[in-house]
Amino acid sequence: MGDRVTFGSGCVGRLFTPEDGTERVPCVVLCHGFSGTMDRLLPHAESFAAAGLAALVFDYRNFGESAGEPRQLVDIDGQQEDIRSAVAFVRGHGRIDPDRVLLWGNSLGGAHAINVAADDPRIAAVVAQIPFNGFPRKVEGRSAWSTFRLQAAILWDALRGRLGLGPYYIPMIGAPGEMAVTATAEAEQHIRTLAGENGQTLWRNSVAPRAFLRMARYRPAPERLRAPLLVCIATEDHETPEETTRVLADRAPDGELRRYPGTHFSFYNDPAIRDKVLADQIAFFVAQVG
C-alpha cells in the first residue's frame, strides 16, 4: 500500500519506493482525473516502484482522504497547487532525487501535469494519458434534453456557490438517459470497477457541477514545456477525443504521441491495454532519467 504521507493543505497520499538500495531515485507524481481518487492509481504506482521509480499517489483537496470543503468539488487552481505541494514534498524526501521528479496525469490530471511542469523547469518529463483539452463538440448518446438538464444543473450549482450555499450534487456516471456527467452504457459498466470487488473505495459517484464553468475555459499549454512530453491516447475515446488530444503532442517542443486501441475507459478496464500503456510509459520515463 505504500507509506501514508501528508503534505500541503491537508493532502493525503501514499508514497511507494523501490525495496532495494538506499540511493536516491527518480519519482513519479501521479495526478488523477476529474472526480478520481488515489485508490484507482495504486496499481500504477506499484508498477512504477517495481521498475525502480518511486511513485506518489494522492487525493486532491475536497476528495477522498484529503481535507477540504465543499466535498466533491473540483478546484482547478487548488488542484494545481496540490500537485506543486506534492512535488515539493517528494523533492525533500531522502530517497528521492529532487532533479528527477516526473509528472504523470490522467484526463484532467493530464492537463494539470502539463501546466504545472510548464511552470517548473526542474520537472524531468511528463506523461499525459487521455488528457483533457476542452470539452468535445458533441457528446455521444446525449440528447438535447439531457444537455439542457446538465447545463441547468451547472448553472444552478454555480448560483448556489455565489450565494454561499452547499453544492447541488449530480452523479458523475450514469446509465444512458440519466442525469449524469457521463451517461453511457460503457460508463455505467466502468462504475462497477470503480466500486471495487468488495465495494470498498474512496471514490464517490457525486460531483458539484459548478466546476464545469471553470473547465470550459481551462486548457493545457504544452508549448511552454521544457520537459519531454509523452501523450497516450485511445483511438475510440469520445470523452477526450483524438482530434483534441493529439495536438498537445504536436505543440510541445519535445512531444511524442502514442495511440492505443480502445476507449476512454479501456486504460482502466482492459488489463492488456493498461499493461501495454504502463510498460511504454515506464520505458519513456526511464529513458529520460536513467
- Write out the E strands in the chain: 3-7, 11-16, 25-31, 54-58, 96-106, 125-129, 173-174, 182-183, 229-234, 255-260
Look at residue 102 and tell me if it is in a domain. yes
Nearby residues of 256 by Cβ (< 8 Å), 6 or more positions away:
228, 229, 230, 231, 249, 284
Nearby residues of 197 by Cβ (< 8 Å), 6 or more positions away:
none
Look at residue 181 and tell me if it is in a domain. no
Helix (H, G, I), strand (E, B) or coil at 264: coil
| Residue 261 φ/ψ region, left for φ over 0, alpha for ψ in the -120 to 50 degree band, beta for the rest | beta
Helix (H, G, I), strand (E, B) or coil at 286: helix
The CATH number of the domain where 233 resides is what? Answer: 3.40.50.1820
Domain that holds residue 244: 3-138+217-289
| Crossing angle of helices 42-50 and 271-289, rounded to 10° | 50
Look at residue 64 and tell me if it is in a domain. yes
**Secondary structure letter of residue 136 according to DSSP:** -
Q: What is the mean pLDDT of each run of 10 residues along the chain (290 residues)?
A: 93 93 92 94 96 97 97 98 98 97 98 98 98 83 82 97 97 86 73 52 92 97 98 94 96 98 89 95 96
Can you read off the three cell numbers belonging to residue 15?
508514497
Antiparallel, parallel or unpaired: β 3-7 and 11-16: antiparallel
Look at residue 225 and tell me if it is in a domain. yes
Look at residue 112 and tell me if it is in a domain. yes
Look at residue 186 and tell me if it is in a domain. no
Question: What is the widest separation between alpha-carbon atoms in the chain?
Answer: 59
- If one counts the domains in the chain, the total is 1
- Encoded amino acid at 214, one letter: R
User: How are the residues of the chain apportioned to helix, strand and coil, as percentages rounded to the nearest 5?
Assistant: 40, 20, 40
**pLDDT of 200:** 53
Instruction: Return the exposure string of 100-110: e unless at least 16 CB atoms fall within 10 Å of the residue's CB, then b.
Output: bbbbbbbbbbb
**pLDDT of 198:** 44
- Omega cis (within 30) before 70: yes
Look at residue 203 and tell me if it is in a domain. no
Look at residue 238 and tell me if it is in a domain. yes
